[in-house]
Structure 1
Amino acid sequence: MSGMDELARRYLASWNETDPVRRRALVAELWTLDARYVDPIVVAEGHAGIDEAMATAQRRFPGLRYRAAGPVDAHHDVARLTWELGPDGGPAVIIGSTVLVAGQSRLSRGYGFLDPVPTTGADK
């Protein structure tokens, strides 16, 4: 498994971690201090911002899990990850892709794309 494959695996695991203490630890281990994650519905900066984006997604989509939807496509310190969000063993509710950029063997940037972009429950 390449370094970017491992970072992508840990990235998905952190989005699925429901224990707040453990999730914060995963974020701190995975992301650089100046990390930034953006997608069509969130801009998150630093460990606290990224952790809050993950917690918000879990509140918004309870019981759903992120899973890889194909191999990680990587070169240099950049990876493209296609993923799905859905119930265990069930169909995907959202399919997305994220471009991950690494620095110092940790993620420094994440750019997410969603299909479809959720339009309901944005205030939850």
Structure 2
Amino acid sequence: MPDAITPATTDVPDYDRLLRANLERVFNERNGSMRARALDELYGADPVMYEPANVVRGRAAISEVAGKLLEQFGPDFRFVPDGAAVGHHGFGVLRWRAGPSGGPVVVTGSDVADVVDGRIERLWVMLDPQKT
């Protein structure tokens, strides 16, 4: 019988690798075909992304949202992990910050992922309240 602390299976996703790859290869990728390739590798067949004011369905739509964000905020804008992702039972969380490279942080938040068979099926983008 497995003890209460050790997982009973070795099929535990690498939440940190997956969610960091999502930031770097999807949300920081300016080349649309490379972003599409990353989405094919990192996401399930019919993913859903929940933003605070929008629900985005499908890999192509998620790619479009990521591309528009990068265009909107300029060529130096980047998402950077803020610590390691944690997760268990198919649920992973990675905190991040974003802004121009070498500049001030513009926004912070977390990506919360439902991971099935090592791929993101659903992603919630949680934005932290703006400091005034």
For residues 67-106 of structure 1, what are the structure 2 equivalents within 5 Å?
A: 67-106=80-119
CA contact (8 A) 1:82 1:98 kept: yes
Q: Report the equivalent of 1:21.
A: 33
Q: Aligned partners of 2:47 and 2:92: how far apart in 1?
A: 16
Q: Aligned partners of 1:66 and 1:116: how far apart in 2?
A: 17
| AA partner of residue 19 (structure 2) | A
| AA partner of residue 110 (structure 1) | L
Q: Return the TM-score normalized by structure 1.
A: 0.86
CA contact (8 A) 2:95 2:111 kept: yes
Unaligned runs of 5+ in 2: 1-12
CA contact (8 A) 1:42 1:53 kept: no
Q: Does 1:37 align with 2:80?
A: no
Shift of 1:116: 4.2
Q: Return the TM-score normalized by structure 2.
A: 0.81
- Higher Cα radius of gyration: 2
Unaligned runs of 5+ in 1: 118-124
Q: Does 1:5 align with 2:5?
A: no
Q: Report the equivalent of 1:122.
A: none
- Percent pairwise identity: 32
Equivalent position SS for 1:17 = coil
The counterpart of 2:72, out of the listed 60, 80, 97, is: 60
Q: Report the equivalent of 1:120.
A: none
CA contact (8 A) 1:44 1:50 kept: yes
Q: Report the equivalent of 1:121.
A: none
